[in-house]
A and B are shown apart, each in its own frame.
Chain A
Amino acid sequence: MSRVAIRVEHVSKRYQRGTASSYLRLSERLWSSISKPFQRSTQVAKKADDFWALNDLSFEVREGEVLGVIGRNGAGKSTLLKILSRITRPTQGRISWRGRVGSLLEVGTGFHPELTGRENIFLNGAVLGMTRREIAAKLDEIVAFAEIESFIDTPVKRYSSGMYVRLAFAVAAHLEPEIMLVDEVLAVGDYAFQRKCLGKMQDVATAGRTILFVSHNLTAVTSLCSRAILIERGQIVQDDDPKAVVARFLTDGINTNWERHWASDDAPGTERVRLRHIALRPQEIAPGMPIDVGTPLDLVIDYEKQIDEGATNVSVFVTNIQGVVLFNTVSPLREGPRGNYQGVVRIPGHLLNNGLHRVRVMVTHDLSPQADVDGALIFEVHEVQRTIAAQGVWQGAVRPQLDWSLERVVS
């Protein structure tokens, strides 16, 4: 069994809501201590606003392990990395580590726009803890990796953002610490460069160094990591094989927003038409399993027509996380007496790309909108589990499966 590289013991971190980012004024503080001498400090009164980003967290990472850390936004992943990289101190508890820690929390920190690429390599390397000699020895490799050979003596203020990011990652990737902390840096850069970065990380991992990898790229986590932990509300809820942890993460909180009921008169709508129930019913997968790119979805809309006159129909908009409306689809107009009506629309598999999607539902009466609920449902389409060869973002708002033929042309 290899030695322990990182040990986290009962670590908690408290933040104060509200005052988190604001400056205090010395004069205000002095004034309040003069005017209210019996009130020790303004902070004592704010205990109720405390927010525990991490709550009694303990785990160990052994040398050579690649630990993936996953969890929803705000679960405490970034706070954990900040404590491990010693940017901030834990409120309680203790961390121990063996060897040099290199952190890659955000690329390009410490770059100075007036300085050239070369000068910035030395600056950034030194900030990350490399000595001048180490940097000099790796300079050529770094420049080649970043693909900026001809711009190396240009001030970085003239760089494109892509060049900037590539240079920053190249410096960090060539730092050779015993422990490497990586946070979501792969979200930047184009697809080819992302692949290159993942490849580089895999090299580092196989060289026997310890990596702590925080990511939303679950495919990368399952293929790179030897172990994963799932963090929720500042606590570890699972510590296991990456596949098991990812599966748990994906199924957790399922159904959260897949179904909505309205019973009372507060339901969206007017005295003519009221929305009663909408639901998303994934097809062809076992109940409780995540929706992936290939899953067909049935969208069910129940509404109550409260008058006999007129015709009603339903309109559905699907929007992706970037706010792009992917499509708008409309049911036929239906005439009929008062009563409950149900519309069902099938969204085929292999249409939506992976990511979060928002559904807007509109019910009309004689073509004038009566109920209009944006964000009526929110669901996530997950990536199909694929091999490591095809990681990265699949470009495009939609991902239809189209017919292809590819033959050798014989003349």
Chain B
Amino acid sequence: MNSIDAADLNYAFLAQELWQYRELALVFATRDLKVRYRQAVIGIAWAVLQPLVMMSLFMVFTRWSGKTPSAHAETYAVSSYIGLLIWQLFSYTVRESTTSLVGHRDLVTKVYFPRLLLPLSTALCALVDFGFAFLVLVPLMWWTGIVPGMAVLLFPIWLLLALLTSIAVGIWLSALNALYRDIGYVVPFLLQIGLFVTPVLYETRSVVPAQWQGLWALNPLVGMIEGCRWSLMPAGSTDGPSVVIVVLSLCSLVALLVSGLWYFRRAEQWIADRI
């Protein structure tokens, strides 16, 4: 027999339930994708166009100013495109997660399912967008003359870590937004700041002074984006993360994820009464 009491925070049971309801996450994600692209004329191309346009703009500006925020000007296009891909994955997940509980008030107050599925399914959606945008990276690398080395095998791990970062921030904000209305106003602003403190348009070790890099790396995306670049681009064409950056980013990610899960679990208990 399963049971639940007033102060239950059973994580094994949560994992079991998430597995049991795994199809619902897929259903939520496909629903969101369908709804999003059904009435949009250019459909999935939108996911590709956004980072491509951004990258082209950066290229133009760096050309005009004559300075590249990276020690490797010749591979800047690829490096910034990778940064944009991960940033898009992160910002989409965070933005959609934030409203995921509040936006599904009807469901949350009427039906039970593990509430964690709502923010998780937004990450799945973001991953689909990422997949399409990633397809463009291949010709882009070929055109720039970049051939990845063996490190490319580690790319899925970096991507997974970046996804976990997005999820960790996403579940924090989704629970907070369900309880505090003003979170919704803060998130766009936070994302704007995030674009600057994250090496999307620049490479960390080329731009951030050495004594600040440790602080910078507390933003887990710093380690993840540099890691993605390192695994996709051959040595010498990108800075790559230092060991310190990787370790700090990982620690920060674990802290975010664990605290996020804990807070979400707690909030889950009264979310249906307060939302």
Contacts and interface: CB of A to CB of B under 8 A. Distances in A.
Indicate whether A and B interact: yes
Interface of A: 4, 7, 15, 20-21, 23-27, 29, 82, 85-98, 101, 103, 105-106, 109-110, 112, 114-115, 119, 122-123, 126-129, 131-132
Given A89-B269, A109-B107, A112-B31, A24 B2 contact: no
Contacts of A105: 110-111
B176 A26 contact: yes
A24 to B, nearest CB: 6
* 4 tightest Cβ-Cβ pairs between the two chains A and B: A96-B3, A26-B180, A94-B5, A126-B27
Contact of B3 (A87, A92, A97): A97
Nearest to A125: B27
A46 to B, nearest CB: 14
B111 A128 contact: yes
Nearest to B34: A115
A129 to B, nearest CB: 7
A114 B35 CA distance: 7
B26 to A, nearest CB: 8
B128 to A, nearest CB: 17
28 contacts: A15-B273, A20-B273, A26-B176, A29-B180, A87-B111, A87-B272, A88-B269, A89-B6, A89-B269, A89-B270, A93-B5, A95-B5, A96-B1, A96-B2, A97-B2, A103-B111, A109-B106, A112-B31, A114-B34, A119-B31, A122-B27, A123-B31, A126-B23, A126-B27, A127-B24, A127-B107, A129-B24, A131-B23
A343 B78 CA distance: 95
Nearest to A23: B181
A85 B111 CA distance: 7
A87 B27 contact: no
A86 B24 contact: no
A114 B21 CA distance: 23
Contacts of A21: 274
Given A24-B180, A25-B180, 11 more contacts: A4-B1, A21-B274, A27-B182, A82-B272, A87-B111, A89-B269, A94-B3, A94-B4, A109-B106, A119-B34, A127-B111
Contact of B109 (A23, A87, A90, A98): A87
Contacts of A82: 272
Given A26-B183, A87-B272, A131-B23, A110 B5 contact: no
